[in-house]
A and B are shown apart, each in its own frame.
Chain A
């Protein structure tokens, strides 16, 4: 939980990347997330999150294949690094700690 922390949106994108595995490229991530969140997102938001996380070392990427649908341009496939997995785990632990604390105060929430 030092300087390289995940933003809330970044966390969602990161988990989507992990789920999508070999299909984790820009448009696919966007489509997937939109479906889950039931709202329209902008391509810029997704791309900015991806690039930020790559800068921080949570993601790596390699060129994928091109397709005609993409006007002959190659995809960039993203993959989470072990640091990303640690960060996600950390976030999850903090959340569950907080939930427990909340439930203790008010059992109805649980």
Chain B
């Protein structure tokens, strides 16, 4: 043959490919034809072209009739599958411990993955339920300066009208008041005709247009009339059922805090807000035609959030620009008249931004709005940990399978000798992996079910597994098989590469490449574990630090009695007098303002009167407190005096040190201050700085003014016997206000609640650190079984030649401990980076001292040591004859 003489062949890879893809029964014929054609082509074309044409023809073979069918080749051969499954089952039963470890690690991985998928899915569905989804926005302020952009949500009340008149692309505009102002927040409520007050939360003010903008579904009443008249309100279905069982609430009246002026007529019942709505609440009070407070403020103050629905096809960006331009032409003078400063800067840097409603909860723009948000940190943390856990679980599976493969080497050798193909063997092992993964998925589902209540507690959600959906179980099944294949492919490949002669002669076949991979996996596992352990320790210490830091006031044994709105002022004062007569009560003080997060908030700008025109105003928290406040809270005066009932009226103020610093007052006492409403006041004292907001931030300036009573009475107990004290207080309460139950908070608990998110983060980290330790240990255990098995003969020889138990034990453990040390060396800088990132936002934070890292590393080494010792000890104390005899 000419072509063969000249060494001219079709490309050999193409020939192999052809053989690989063709149905077996066609290969001889078609290959022959192809070769003949190649020779024909050689006569007409160059060698290269002929080769190219061959390749083209191979590609042209991709037709269903000609190709091998994957898997279904052995359609009738299900006896083979049955056998595979049977063998797999026997293997699992035989190696119960290994199977349990594999199954356990895998199920934990799957459960973690499922939980986190549920969580992520819930986070993603927030505010996705509106029909006009892409037309609903929240109008927020944007401040761009030096390339940095910030957002905040509060806007001026009269802006609504200006927008309605001047921006035709806005279909409707609705304001809401979501902070405790007027009757917002929590109240005592009752039906007018009844007597007993109930405590309720979830009150907020809104314009009637809100129902339309946010598409609030009304069960009764109509969107066009609800909330349009003064003193009307819309309540939720669940509250309607509670207060008006089997009645139509429409037209009924309810009174807040026993105050006849705050009597509201119900003119709508809405469906409860869904779980995944950023806006929550049960009572919507109207802003329409109000006489005071919410809804009446002018251009002085920004007290509202504003929702906007654009007309269809309106361009968000153009609307934003138009709004900004309108501010500069129409609003700026009004602001000037209202005495606002910094207007030039405002024109330069501040603009409006329409935030899509779906972003509000997720907080992509980090808008300052005081609403609860999906904790991005927590979500990210979850996802990272989920990935680590799943990877660790897979690594473990691979590790354990390759380790146990040594025991199966003979089986593989024998199967090969009697004619098993590599593919057949691979199928056998993949079947095993898939079976195991299906089992693990099942137990993983059970674990998920068991863990869901705790997880819901942790995330404060109500997640459920979507059993009923058509896709859930199929996805689980397919996922199980996919994971099985993925995790099984390496061990299967590894096993089928055993050479039968080697294993049957029981020559060890440990190749260095495989050893390096196994060691690498252990290092990776332990590095991840060490990072998690250290993170857990750091977050725990930070939390403890927050709980125990010296705050500048004493939160212990302080009870806040709330709900005093329903008592008139003199009655409140005599209630306080009565309480002070109790032996259990040391001090008592009226103030709605407390150094914890969910208390009243108010801010004002202040100037030193003589510098009113020169300086920028200093924004300070503005608290109204009575004469016993400082004493009751255990705060310290730095200079000056406390309030005095007899001497002081509205113009006396106490400021904190920070305020004095910011105002640059050397001699604060006696200084005259002016606030944004041009009210003058005189400093009578300076209180030592205390942390009245989260410790994540620095202490802000604070001004206290005198006010004799409030709706909250804080009581400092004189004894540690809290329950007895409460019983006494409760008895006094009943004498004064029998129509309402006593309601109170413990201030230390409210304080702890401020750090809920970090406390939850701590729990998550501890749980997952534990899981990862567990999984890493399983992996290490498997590796130790594997390695020690391989070196058993060596150890026996050493022993016979006189090596002691200790010597052998040390020899065996050293290898592993070395790996763990490498892991620690890698993990420490990584952990330091992660923790610095986490802590650098906190104003008050712990230092990352070396002890934390030392402890983290030590824990890892100890755990690893114990794990390895099990097998090492066994090997070191074994009778050498057992091993040597088999030759």
- CB neighbours (8 Å) of B33 from chain A are 25-27, 30, 43, 47, 70, 75
Does A45 touch B at the CB level, under 8 Å? yes
Select the stretch in A11-19, A48-56, A88-96, A97-105 that faces chain B: A48-56
Q: B554 at interface (Cβ–Cβ under 8 A)?
A: no
Whether, in the assembled complex, A106 has its beta carbon less than 8 Å from a beta carbon of chain B, the answer is no
Q: CB-nearest residue of chain A relative to B62?
A: A44
Are the C-beta atoms of A76 and B29 separated by less than 8 Å?
A: yes
Asked, given contacts A30-B37, A69-B1, A69-B39, whether A74 binds B29 with beta carbons under 8 Å apart, the answer is yes
Identify the interface centre among B40, B56, B66: most chain A CB within 10 Å of its CB: B66
Report the minimum CB–CB distance from A7 to chain B (whole Å). 13
- A30 contact set on B, CB distance < 8 A: 33, 37
Q: Which B residues are in CB contact (< 8 Å) with A27?
A: 32-33, 36-37, 40
The residue in chain A whose Cβ has the minimal distance to the Cβ of B23 is A51
Is B693 among interface residues, defined by CB-CB distance under 8 A?
A: no
Count A interface residues, CB 8 Å: 24
A42 nearest CB neighbor, chain B only: B60
Q: Are B34 and A75 in contact, CB atoms less than 8 angstroms apart?
A: no
Task: Give, as a whole number of angstroms, the nearest-CB distance from A6 to chain B.
Answer: 15
Contact: A48 with B37, CB < 8 Å? no
With most chain B CB atoms within 10 A of its CB, the pick from A27, A43, A48 is A43
Q: CB-defined interface of A30-74 with B at 8 Å, one 1/0 digit per residue?
A: 110000000000111101100110010000000000111111011
CA distance A45 to B56 in the complex (A): 12
The answer to whether B61 and A44 touch across the interface, beta carbons within 8 angstroms, is yes
Docked-complex contact A73 and B65, CB < 8 angstroms: no
Q: How far is the CB of A9 from chain B (nearest CB, A)?
A: 12
Residues on B with C-beta less than 8 A from A71 are 31-32, 35
Q: A43-B61, A47-B61, A71-B35 are in contact. Are A26 and B30 (CB under 8 A)?
A: yes
Contact, CB under 8 Å: A66 / B32: yes
* Residues of chain A within 8 A of B36, CB atoms compared: 27, 67, 69-70
Q: Given A48-B66, A51-B66 in contact, is the A42-B56 Cβ separation under 8 Å?
A: yes
Tell me which of B1, B29, B35, B40 has the highest count of chain A C-beta atoms within 10 A of its own C-beta: B29
Q: A48 — which chain B residues lie within 8 A by C-beta?
A: 63, 65-66
Say yes or no: B57 contacts A44, CB within 8 Å. Answer: yes
A17 to chain B minimum Cβ distance, whole angstroms, is 14
Q: Mark B59-76, 1 if CB is under 8 A from A, else 0.
A: 111110110000000000
A26 to B40, CA, bound (A): 13
Contacts of A66 in B (CB 8 A): 32
With both chains docked as a complex, state the minimum distance between the C-beta of B54 and any C-beta of chain A, in angstroms: 9
Q: Which of B16-36 contact A (CB under 8 A)?
A: 26, 28-36
A28 to chain B, nearest CB (A): 9
* CB neighbours of B32 from chain A (8 A): 26-27, 66, 70-71, 73-75
Tell me whether A73 and B35 are in contact (CB under 8 A): yes
The residue on A at minimum CB distance from B15 is A71
With A and B bound together, what is the CA distance between A47 and B18 in angstroms?
13
Q: How far is the CB of B796 from chain A (nearest CB, A)?
A: 55
Residue count of chain B within 8 Å CB distance of chain A: 23
A31 vs B37: C-alpha distance in the bound complex, in angstroms?
9
User: Out of A26, A44, A67, which one reaches B29, CB within 8 Å?
Assistant: A26
**How many A-B Cβ pairs are below 8 Å?**
73
Least CB distance, B363 to chain A, in whole angstroms: 57
Residues on A with beta carbons closer than 8 Å to the beta carbon of B66: 44, 47-48, 51
- A42, A45, A47: the one within 8 Å of B30 (CB): A47
Given A55-B65, A69-B39, CB of A43 within 8 Å of CB of B29: no
What B residues does A51 contact at CB under 8 A? 26, 65-66
| Docked pose: A45 CA to B39 CA in angstroms | 19
Residue pair A43, B35 in contact (C-beta under 8 Å): no
Give chain A residues whose Cβ lies under 8 Å from the Cβ of B28: 73-74
B615 to chain A, nearest CB (A): 86
Q: Which residue from A25, A42, A47 sits with its C-beta under 8 Å from B26?
A: A47
A63 to B30, CA, bound (A): 12
Give the CA-CA distance A10 to B37 in the complex, in Å.
20
- Give A5 to B59 CA distance when docked, in angstroms: 27
Nearest-neighbour CB distance to chain A for B488, whole angstroms, equals 34
Cα(A30)–Cα(B61), bound, Å: 14
Residues of A with C-beta under 8 A to B34: 43
Which chain B residue lies CB-closest to A72? B32
**Nearest CB of chain B from residue A80's CB, rounded to whole Å:** 18
CA distance A55 to B36 in the complex (A): 25
Q: Is the CB of A44 within 8 A of B60?
A: yes
For B61, what are the chain A residues with a Cβ–Cβ distance below 8 Å? 43-44, 47
Minimum CB distance partner of B39 in chain A: A69
- In the complex formed, the residue of B with least CB distance to A74 is B28
Please name the residue on chain A nearest to B65 by beta carbon.
A51
Residue interface bits B664-699, CB-to-A below 8 A is 1, else 0: 000000000000000000000000000000000000
Q: How far is the CB of B23 from chain A (nearest CB, A)?
A: 9
Please report the C-alpha to C-alpha distance between residue A74 and residue B29 in the assembled complex, in whole angstroms: 6
**Residues of A with C-beta under 8 A to B62:** 44
Distance in Å from the Cβ of B648 to the closest Cβ of chain A? 100
Q: B65 contacts which chain A residues (CB < 8 A)?
A: 48, 51-52, 55
Say yes or no: A43-B31 contact (C-beta < 8 A), given A48-B66, A51-B66, A52-B65. no
Q: Which residue of A lies closest to B53 (CB)?
A: A40
Is A73 within 8 A of B37, CB to CB? no
Minimum Cβ distance to chain B for residue A102 (Å): 34
A83 to B763, CA, bound (A): 78
Q: Which residue of B lies closest to A30 (CB)?
A: B37
Report the nearest A residue to B33, measured CB to CB: A26
Q: Give complex CA distance A52, B37 in Å.
A: 21
Write the chain A residue with the least CB distance to B32.
A73
Nearest Cβ in chain A — how far from B29, in angstroms?
4
A101 to chain B, nearest CB (A): 35
A2 to B588, CA, bound (A): 99
Complex alpha-carbon distance, A16 and B65, angstroms: 21
**Bound-complex Cα distance A70 to B34 (A):** 8
Docked Cα-Cα span, A9 to B65, in Å, equals 16
CB of A4, distance to nearest CB on chain B (Å): 15
Q: How far is the CB of B33 from chain A (nearest CB, A)?
A: 3
Cβ-closest chain B residue relative to A77:
B29
The answer for the CA separation of A54 and B56 in the assembled complex, in Å, is 25
> Which residues on B sit within 8 Å (CB–CB) of A47?
26, 30, 33, 61, 63, 66
Q: How many Å lie between the Cα of A25 and that of B36 in the bound state? A: 11
Q: Is A73 in contact with B29, judged by CB distance below 8 angstroms?
A: yes
Contacts of B31 in A (CB 8 A): 71, 73
Q: In whole angstroms, how far apart are the Cα atoms of A22 and B809 in the complex?
A: 79
Taken together as a complex, chains A and B put the C-alpha atoms of A51 and B29 apart, in Å, by: 12
Which of A25, A45, A68, A70 has the largest number of chain B CB atoms within 10 A? A70
Residue of A nearest to B35 (CB): A71
B63 near A44 with CB under 8 A, answer yes
Complex-state Cα separation, A73 to B1, whole angstroms: 14
Q: Which residue in A31, A42, A52, A70 is a CB contact (below 8 Å) of B35?
A: A70
Determine how close the nearest CB of chain B comes to the CB of A33; give it in whole angstroms. 13
A42-B57 in contact given A48-B65, A48-B66, A73-B29 (Cβ < 8 Å): yes
Q: Please, how many angstroms separate the alpha-carbon atoms of A27 and B666 in the complex?
A: 105
Give the top 5 A-B pairs by smallest Cβ distance, nearest first. A73-B32, A42-B60, A44-B60, A26-B33, A70-B32
Subset of 28 A-B contacts with CB under 8 Å: A25-B33, A26-B32, A27-B32, A27-B40, A31-B40, A42-B56, A42-B57, A43-B33, A43-B61, A44-B61, A45-B60, A45-B63, A47-B66, A55-B65, A67-B36, A68-B1, A69-B1, A69-B36, A69-B39, A70-B32, A70-B35, A70-B36, A71-B31, A73-B28, A73-B29, A73-B35, A74-B29, A74-B32
List A residues at the B interface (Cβ < 8 Å): 25-27, 30-31, 42-45, 47-48, 51-52, 55, 66-71, 73-76
B residues contacting A by CB (< 8 A) are 1, 26, 28-37, 39-40, 56-57, 59-63, 65-66
Besides the known contacts A43-B33, A71-B35, A74-B32, 20 further A-B residue pairs in the complex with CB atoms under 8 A apart: A26-B30, A26-B32, A26-B33, A27-B40, A31-B40, A42-B57, A43-B34, A43-B37, A47-B26, A47-B30, A47-B33, A47-B66, A51-B65, A70-B32, A70-B36, A71-B32, A73-B31, A73-B35, A74-B28, A75-B29
